[in-house]
A = this chain, B = another copy of it.
Amino acid sequence: MPERQDISPLTLNRLSVYLRCLRLLRDEGVERVSSQQLAQRFHLSSSQIRKDLTYFGEFGVRGVGYDVSLLADRLQQLLGLDRTHRLMIVGVGNLGSALARYFDGNDLHFQVVAGVDSNEQRIGKEVGSFVVRAFDEIATLVGETDADIGVITVPGDAAVQAYEALVDGGVRSVLNFAPVQLPDIEGVRVKNVDMRIHLEEMAFFLGADDNDSER
């Protein structure tokens, strides 16, 4: 079994997908499923499912397949979803407050416990289930609320500062929506989500239609 650090984000993200599929099956009352059935139903690759799973153990029964409910439980545990994670949102503008409301009640495993902003007018306001606090309280707030995941939704120029404050407070996982490369810090994991990059990828493929009468 490989170290946690060694398994690729790609594999990991597929586990999330598998878990979602298994839950659907379970809700339908399906008890057993083969890698091939899973693959066919959800447009996945059966050999990849098997490979991905065996990084973490032997969950199946040869000649039979996987127990839907059991595998779902194991994946949930593997993904660290047995306890509820606590999010702190840094930057309660459009995107930040939308994410706060979006996650709140939308997911059992993730709960928004705090939000901060640098804008005076937003401080003290209630967004979702928390009251917005000041930007410079980030580090203390992390301790107070026991947040373990930081979500950065401030403009680019404030992102690094927000990041360092979060890490200062003890956060070790950060979801970054700012279009800035955050510095590597030992033991801290950053996941970037960059809307502009996504849109520009779309734009590139659209561009093809224009200048294309040739070839």
Contact = CB atoms under 8 A, between A and B. Distances in A.
A123 interface: no
A9 B194 CA distance: 14
B197 A80 contact: no
A80 B204 contact: yes
Give the size category of A's interface with B. Answer: 35 or more
A205 B173 contact: yes
A20 interface: yes
A196 B102 contact: no
Contact of A81 (B83, B87, B203): B203
Given A20-B179, A195-B99, A79 B200 contact: yes
Nearest to A13: B197
A122 interface: no
A201 B174 CA distance: 11
